Structure formats: C-alpha cells, structure tokens
Amino acid sequence: MDIGGLVPVDRNVEGMVDMVLDAIEKYQEPLTKDRLFNWHYALFPTGRSGMYKISVGKWRDDSNGPMQVVSGAMGKEKVHFEAPPASGIEGEMQQFLNWFNNERSIDSILKAGVAHIWFVTIHPFEDGNGRITRTITDMLLTRSDGVRHRFYSMSAQIRKERKGYYEILEKTQKSTLDITDWLEWFLQCLFNALSESDTVLSKILFKHSFWTRNAQVDLNERQIKVMGRLLDDFFGNLTTKKWAKIAKCSSDTALRDIQDLLKKGILVKDNAGGRSTNYLLKPIE
C-alpha cells in the first residue's frame, strides 16, 4: 500500500515473500530449474549476500573451493558438512526435479521430508539453500493440504527448533542413506507446528469471542487498553497497582475502572483480601 510515512520494506524481505507466495499459490505447478533460478534471483536481487558478491540464478561452481558448513575459531574450525562437488550438481538436480514432479506413490508429507533432506544435501546454490529448501518443503505440505491457505508454518517451527534441526541434519548427512531418524524428527517438528498453530488460533478465537460478547458494553480507553493486554500474553496476576501502571492513571481511578468491570461481568475476583486482591477475565461459557 502506498502510504506516506510507511517504513519501507527491505528488498530481501520482499524477495523472500515473493518466493514463498509463488511456491504456495502455484503449488500444483512443476518445480523446474528456471523456477528455482527465479527464486534465487528474488532472494539476492543485487547479486550480493551481505558484503559478498555471489553467483545468482545459477548453480554454484566451487571456484573458491568446496562448499562447506564450518564453525569455530580460525585454526580450530569444525566442518559440519561438505556438499557434493559442483561438477555433479546438474545431474543431481535433474534427478531430484524428475522425482519431485513425477513421484506419486509416496505420501506428500513424507515426500516433503525426503525432498527437504535431499535438496539441502545437494546444496546447489552458493547461498540461500536453507530458505529455498524450507520453501520447497512448504510447497509439498501445501499440496498435501490441497489448499493455499495454511494456518501453520513448518519454516517458522524449524527456526524455533534450529538447534535440534542442525544436529539431526549433520547426523543424517554424515551417516548412511537410511533417513528414518530424519523423517521421525521432521514429522515431530510438523506435529509441533500444528500444535503451536492450534494454540495461536485458540487465543485468537477467545479474543474474538470476548470482543463480540462485549461489543455493546460501554468501556473507556483505559479499560480497552488493559483488556487488550489481558487477552494477550499477560504476565502474572492483574492487581489495582498493575492496572494503574498499564493505564497510566492513579490507584483510585484504577480501582473505579476495575469495579465497573466487575459490575458488568467482565472481570471476577480471584481471591478476596484488600491490596492482595487479584482479578481475572470472566470465563466464556
């Protein structure tokens, strides 16, 4: 939206959004070499990754040595992973794309797990492999759901569990071709993503029910502000002192606001007893 004063979005963020939208909204279309190159261009429109110039819209060439994932101080480096030689990428990617577009016998969720470990192990680009891998995964999960609108994000969940993700990734890539342990981790991560989505949706539905139920109730600005905080992730118990701090008002005004909400059936007392009295939102039946 063209709005004056709106903070401009970083082009790299827009590129990531363009890539994900293309994958999810056109999830039934084939995954091709050109499509992957277009995604790569979207991620690196300037041809640079940070300060470094990279090859964009083409497979890596290993001109600066083998592609490695390394950690540790100089002289004490640990190589976690070394990608296959660049000379074999064209053939490896052709085999991957043929499988991706034509394999129909495997369940789409398992296929997403296999595609993830396969693509990230080939590591076909100089940079951006992780982001493109997660996009391919979400594309296959969208195919599994059969709808473009999804209420969970595997990519977001992998970011939350990235320590375990990198551990199982390294273990699998340094092991045999048996990827059972990887698939078990992948499915557990997917389950966690669904559970997280369920928690978020439950909060949203509760907030919607609350404001719908109290749509005709006369509330002042202070009450609306504090109710909004209570409906989000409010830490601890609500007291008169906390109300006054959040609403930036006196303790007397806070007490009047709370007593008004008690009369209107929006708040209930948690326990009696002078200053230690706590207040809760009245449960929605």
Q: What is the DSSP string of 98-141?
A: HHHHH--SS-HHHHHHHHHHHHHHH--SSS-HHHHHHHHHHHHH
Would you state the pLDDT for residue 249? 93
Tell me the torsion sign for CA atoms 204, 113, 131, 171: positive
pLDDT digits (tens, 9 = 90+) for 103-128: 999 999 999 999 999 999 999 999 99
The pLDDT tens digits of the residues spanning 234-275 come to 777 888 989 999 999 999 999 999 999 999 999 988 865 555
**Residue 1's pLDDT band (boundaries 50, 70, 90)?**
very low
Per CATH, the homologous superfamily of domain 11-151 is Fido-like domain (1.10.3290.10)
Q: 221-281 — its CATH code?
A: 1.10.10.10
Integer-rounded Cα radius of gyration of the chain: 26
Alpha-carbon distance 234 to 231, whole Å? Answer: 7
pLDDT at 83 over 80: yes
Q: What pLDDT shows up at residue 15?
A: 84
Q: Is the pLDDT assigned to residue 7 strictly greater than 60?
A: no
Mean predicted confidence (pLDDT) in 172-181:
92
> Residue 41: what pLDDT?
94
Please tell me the distance from the alpha carbon of residue 185 to that of residue 12, in angstroms, as a whole number. Answer: 30
By mean pLDDT, which of 2-11, 30-39, 48-57, 160-169 is the weakest? 2-11
How far apart, in whole angstroms, are the C-alpha atoms of residue 15 and residue 10?
A: 9
CA separation for the pair 186, 193 (Å, rounded): 11
Average pLDDT, the chain: 88
- 278's CB contacts (< 8 A; 6+ apart) are 237, 238, 239, 269, 270, 271
Of 75-89, 124-138, 159-173, give the lowest mean pLDDT range: 75-89
* CA geometry: angle 176, 89, 107, nearest 5 deg: 55
Task: Work out the number of other CB atoms within 10 angstroms of the CB of residue 199.
Answer: 10
Share of the chain above pLDDT 90, in %: 55
What's the pLDDT band for 11 if we cut at 50, 70, 90? low
pTM for the full predicted model: 0.71
Q: Which of 113-122, 150-159, 162-171, 274-283 comes out lowest in average pLDDT?
A: 274-283
Q: Which helix (H) or strand (E) holds 53?
A: strand 52-53
In three-state secondary structure terms, 71 is strand
Of 175, 203, 142, 78, which is closest to residue 185 (Cα–Cα)?
A: 175
Confidence of residue 158 (pLDDT cuts 50, 70, 90): very high
- Domain positions in the chain: 11-151, 221-281
CA–CA distances in Å: residue 159 to residues 33, 92, 119, 124, 188: 26, 27, 18, 21, 14
Q: Which of 65, 69, 22, 29 is nearest to 43 (CA)?
A: 22
Residue 187: name the closest of 133, 136, 105, 114 by CA: 114
